[in-house]
């Protein structure tokens, strides 16, 4: 795949001038802050000034940052102790110092996080102190920030379920504030966890939602995080051009905002893209830029990844000695940080180098150590790689029993990895479906609450009217009672129709899932994931349609086409389908009851076309006649009698037909219009069944008119 790096380099140049200016004025800013610190006598102002001084050293581990924040924290504690001795544990001054204490503690935790001291970040700062202070203050925004920081630490330790738990709590409190940018940032964090778990569609959903909020607001640092993560999504799908585009955007914003940590990560990501394109020289160029930034900033977080990636480029060029040196560096760093996953990867890569150098004893030891760690952290990919290496080593040594043993374990692991990917794809679809379902349920509850509030309001007005206008009591009471009964009856019919539509949805969903499942078993997980995403969109449309009485015809047609495509996949193109809409009908302006034709289309496929030995045909025709729409569903299947002879289970067919008839009856009562359903068996002159035709006649309405 070809790439165009010109775009990337042009973007980088646009941020260069601003960065140079910032460095020129850094010393001047520091001097101004020190002068302000000497001149003010208000402790709360002095604490804030110390924060600003500490922030000058935020782009790398620095004793100066710790020094200024430590002074700020001690000054804060001194004032809190003073207020406590005076019996003051509430009020504006007390709250001010508690907030300053919280800010200092959070910044300490962030610093230890970037130093890869995760235990101190959790135990010393976030978990024991910051969260406790935030709960005492009772501010949702501060609580959200603390919970988010805890989630970040767990996420970088690979404890994704714990991270997800804290991120979801953080989003809950964030949504109680008016800070839309912080709400968006929480969605980015959730997307990061889903991305690491392999739920790419869910991750992308959260990233795009966040981006739509952050871009118009100009929050460059948070926008950069979105760009980088969207690049990761495309990279995992081997779309290198798109990945490079988003990584480059993120890099420009990281430089513009002086975000050294993100800049370093972007260099590594871009290098990884070029490595995927087998351009090892260019990949190593970006890896080395990342390495230089690591060494300049002093942060070791992800530095072991960088060493591993540089080693991979030399391994690809058969420079085994240099590759081994970088793998050793990565091993030493990951061991000191307690990062067992990277330690396992480094050991297994070292074992492969030792195997190629014919140092078989050393190679066995490295692979076995790496394997033990990979088993401990549950990394199936690294386990498979270790078993493969050991198999090849034992083959060289002539230990054929051990070769067979390692090969068997390798094959079993490959099967487990495939099963895990398949499960992950299905689980992703389920999670997205549940998310959409919960959103729809919340929307329905809100609607019901609004109706309830409206009813209460009307009752109150009625009471005031009775008290104020005694002479009109009977007339007003009669009219109000009549209107109330009419609205209650109308609401009951509407809810009944929604219930009927919800009864159809489970069967519809079940059959669609079977179609996708069959494709998963036959194809690779990446392609299967695409179809799962398509089905999730189909479920979303179905959920939306189940909440309304009428939908636009074009939306109904889009749902039917998606459903037919999924069924066609399930039966390997066993039937062709055609949707023919009268040219006098404008689908974008025409409203019809949703899910009318779908049950009969499903019956045609399941009971008619499925058992036809040759290629089947399914035709859906939509015609306009005065104020009616005629929907014809016609198939050339085996017919209803033949299906019965083949012992087809007709329970669903009867249920779908019965529900549809009830819907038509209720709609007829409500709108006082005629709704028709006819089912006809098609037969040749010889009397042989050649298919089935279903005719539905329903009144329609334009989108801006009443039926």
Q: What is the pLDDT of residues 77-128, one digit of tens each?
A: 788 778 877 877 777 777 777 777 767 766 766 666 666 666 666 654 444 5
Q: What is the pLDDT of residue 551?
A: 87
Q: What is the pLDDT of residue 248?
A: 93
**Contacts by residues 285-291 (CB-CB < 8 Å, ≥ 24 positions apart):** 287/313, 290/264, 290/265
8 Å CB contact between 640 and 681: yes
8 Å CB contact between 577 and 620: yes
Q: Which residues of the chain have pLDDT under 70?
A: 1-27, 57-62, 102, 105-106, 108-138, 156-158, 299, 301, 415-464, 470-471, 484-530, 534, 546-547, 646-656, 702-707
Q: Go through the domains of the chain in sequence order and give each one's CATH number.
A: 27-136 (no CATH), 431-702 (3.30.565.10)
For 215, residues 6+ apart whose C-beta sits below 8 A from its C-beta are: 223
8 Å CB contact between 147 and 132: no
Q: What is the pLDDT of residue 651?
A: 47
Give the CA dihedral 448, 454, 456, 462, nearest 10 degrees.
-150
Q: What is the pLDDT of residue 283?
A: 92
**Distance (Å, whole) CA 135 – CA 123:** 17
575-581/616-625 β-pairing = parallel
**Distance (Å, whole) CA 537 – CA 563:** 11
Look up residue 278 and give its two tokens.
């087998």
**Distance (Å, whole) CA 334 – CA 331:** 5
User: How many other C-beta atoms are found inside a 10 Å radius of the C-beta of residue 271?
Assistant: 27
Residue 325: burial class (beta carbons within 10 Å; 0-12, 13-18, 19+): middle
Phi, psi of 387 (to 5 degrees): -60, -40
Q: In Å, how far from its chain's centre is CA 467?
A: 56
**Distance (Å, whole) CA 312 – CA 302:** 16
Q: What is the pTM of this model?
A: 0.45
For 665, residues 6+ apart whose C-beta sits below 8 A from its C-beta are: 675
- 3-state secondary structure at position 191: helix
Question: What size, in residues, is the chain?
Answer: 707
**Distance (Å, whole) CA 112 – CA 119:** 9
Buried b (16+ CB within 10 A) or exposed e, 535-550: bbebbbbbbbbbbebb
């Amino acid at each position: 795949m070809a790439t165009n790096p010109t775009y990337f380099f042009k973007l980088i140049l646009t941020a260069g001038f601003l960065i140079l200016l910032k460095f020129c004025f850094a010393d001047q800013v520091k001097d101004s802050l020190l002068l302000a610190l000497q001149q003010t006598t208000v402790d709360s102002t002095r604490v804030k000034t110390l924060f600003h001084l500490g922030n000058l050293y935020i782009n790398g581990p620095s004793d100066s940052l710790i020094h200024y924040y430590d002074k700020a924290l001690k000054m804060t504690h001194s004032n809190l102790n003073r207020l406590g001795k005076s019996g003051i544990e509430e009020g504006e001054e007390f709250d001010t110092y508690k907030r300053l204490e919280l800010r200092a503690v959070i910044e300490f935790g962030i610093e230890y996080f970037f130093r890869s001291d995760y235990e101190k970040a959790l135990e010393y700062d976030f978990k024991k102190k910051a969260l406790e202070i935030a709960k005492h203050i009772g501010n949702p925004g501060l609580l959200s920030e603390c919970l988010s920081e805890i989630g970040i630490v767990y996420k970088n330790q690979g404890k994704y379920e714990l991270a997800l738990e804290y991120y979801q709590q953080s989003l809950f409190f964030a949504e109680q504030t008016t800070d839309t940018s912080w709400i968006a940032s929480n969605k980015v964090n959730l997307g990061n966890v889903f991305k690491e778990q392999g739920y790419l569609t869910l991750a992308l959903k959260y990233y795009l939602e966040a981006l739509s909020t952050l871009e118009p607001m100009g929050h460059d640092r948070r926008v950069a995080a979105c760009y980088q993560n969207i690049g990761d999504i495309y990279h995992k799908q081997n779309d290198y051009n798109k990945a490079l585009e988003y990584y480059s955007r993120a890099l420009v914003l990281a430089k513009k905002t002086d975000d050294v940590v993100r800049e370093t990560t972007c260099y590594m990501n871009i290098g990884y893209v070029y490595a995927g394109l087998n351009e090892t020289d260019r990949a190593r160029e970006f890896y080395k830029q990342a390495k230089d930034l690591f060494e300049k900033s002093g942060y070791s977080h992800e530095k072991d990844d960088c060493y591993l990636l540089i080693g991979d480029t030399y391994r690809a060029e058969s420079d085994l000695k240099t590759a081994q040196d970088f793998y050793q560096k990565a091993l030493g760093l990951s061991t000191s940080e307690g990062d067992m996953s990277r330690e396992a990867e480094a050991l297994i890569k070292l074992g492969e180098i030792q195997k190629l150098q014919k140092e078989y004893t050393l190679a066995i030891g490295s692979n076995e150590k790496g394997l033990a760690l990979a088993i401990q952290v549950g990394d199936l990919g690294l386990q498979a790689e270790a078993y493969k290496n050991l198999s090849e080593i034992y083959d060289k040594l002539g230990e054929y029993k051990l070769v067979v043993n390692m090969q068997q374990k390798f094959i079993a692991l490959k099967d487990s990895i495939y099963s895990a990917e398949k499960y992950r794809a299905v689980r992703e679809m389920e999670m997205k479906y549940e998310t959409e379902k919960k959103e729809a349920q919340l929307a329905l509850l809100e609607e019901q609450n609004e109706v309830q509030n409206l009813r209460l309001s009307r009752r109150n007005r009625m009471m005031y009217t009775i008290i104020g206008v005694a002479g009109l009591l009977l007339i007003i009471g009669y009219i109000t009672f009549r209107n109330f009964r009419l609205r209650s009856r109308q609401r009951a019919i509407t809810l009944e129709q929604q219930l009927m539509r919800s009864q159809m949805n489970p069967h519809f969903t079940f059959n669609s899932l079977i179609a996708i499942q069959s494709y998963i078993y036959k194809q690779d997980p990446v392609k299967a994931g695409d179809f799962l995403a398509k089905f999730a969109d189909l479920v979303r449309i179905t959920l939306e349609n189940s909440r309304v009485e009428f939908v636009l015809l074009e939306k109904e047609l889009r749902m039917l086409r998606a459903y037919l495509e999924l069924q066609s996949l399930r039966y390997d193109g066993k039937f062709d389908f055609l949707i023919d809409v009268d040219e006098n009908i404008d689908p974008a302006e025409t409203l019809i009851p949703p899910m009318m034709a779908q049950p009969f289309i499903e019956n045609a496929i399941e009971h008619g076309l499925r058992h036809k030995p040759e290629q089947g045909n399914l035709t859906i025709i939509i015609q306009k006649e005065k104020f009616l729409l005629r929907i014809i569903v016609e198939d050339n299947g085996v017919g209803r009698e033949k299906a019965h002879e083949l012992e087809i289970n007709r329970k669903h067919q009867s249920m779908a037909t019965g529900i549809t008839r009830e819907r038509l009856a209720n709609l007829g009562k409500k709108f006082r219009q005629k709704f028709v359903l006819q089912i006809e068996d098609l037969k040749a002159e010889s009397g042989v069944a050649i298919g089935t035709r279903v005719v539905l006649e329903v009144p329609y309405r334009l989108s801006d008119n009443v039926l």
